C-alpha cells in the first residue's frame, strides 16, 4: 500500500470514499438524516480547501483511502468499504503518526474503529458528548505518545 499526498483532481474520488465509508461505519450510530447530510457533495466541498493536507492510500491503481490531519490531530481516516482489512488504514495511520499526529476522536459506539486504534497502541483519554449534526453525540478521545 502506497501513501502519498493527495492531488486536487482526486477530490471527487476521495469524497465518494468518505460518503461510502460514513454510511458503512456509522449506520448504527447516526440516524438516516444525519448520514444523508454527509454525501459526496458535502465532502467535496470540505476537501476543496484542505486537499493539500489529505494523504491518500492507493491500491489497485486508485485511491482506496485517505487521512486528514490538522495540527497533529487526526481529523479523518476513511477506507473504501470494499478495501477494509487490506492494510490501507494501517498504512495511513502509520504515516500520520510519522508526522507527529498524537490525538484523534471517534464515536464512542464505533467499536470497529476503537479496536483498530487500540491495537495500534492508541490510549483512551476520555469520553464526552458534543454537538454534531444538530444534536449531542457521544465521543471518545485517544492519544498516542512516542517512546517505550
pLDDT at 148: 42
Q: What are phi and psi of 141, to 5 degrees?
A: -115, 135
pLDDT at 60: 80
Grid cell 490538522 in the structure block, residue: 70
Q: Where in the chain are the domains? A: 2-143
pLDDT at 146: 67
List per-block mean pLDDT (blocks of 10 residues) for the chain, which spans 148 residues: 96 98 95 95 97 94 96 97 93 97 98 96 97 96 79
CA 128 – CA 1 distance, rounded (Å): 34
Q: pLDDT digits over 16-44, tens only?
A: 999 999 999 999 999 999 999 999 999 99
Task: Give, for 58, the enclosing helix (H) or strand (E).
Answer: strand 54-59
Q: Where does 2-143 sit in CATH, by number?
A: 3.40.630.30
What predicted TM-score, i.e. pTM, was given to this entire model?
0.93
Amino acid at each position: 500500500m502506497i501513501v502519498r499526498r493527495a492531488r486536487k483532481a482526486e477530490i471527487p474520488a476521495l469524497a465518494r470514499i468518505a460518503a461510502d465509508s460514513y454510511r458503512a461505519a456509522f449506520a448504527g450510530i447516526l440516524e438516516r438524516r444525519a448520514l444523508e447530510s454527509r454525501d459526496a457533495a458535502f465532502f467535496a466541498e470540505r476537501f476543496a480547501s484542505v486537499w493539500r493536507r489529505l494523504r491518500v492510500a492507493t491500491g489497485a491503481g486508485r485511491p482506496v483511502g485517505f487521512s486528514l490531519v490538522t495540527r497533529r490531530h487526526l481529523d479523518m481516516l476513511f477506507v473504501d468499504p470494499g478495501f477494509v482489512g487490506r492494510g490501507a488504514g494501517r498504512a495511513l495511520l502509520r504515516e500520520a503518526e510519522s508526522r507527529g499526529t498524537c490525538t484523534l476522536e471517534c464515536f464512542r459506539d464505533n467499536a470497529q474503529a476503537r479496536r483498530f486504534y487500540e491495537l495500534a497502541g492508541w490510549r483512551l483519554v476520555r469520553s464526552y458528548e458534543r454537538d454534531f449534526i444538530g444534536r449531542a453525540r457521544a465521543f471518545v478521545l485517544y492519544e498516542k505518545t512516542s517512546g517505550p
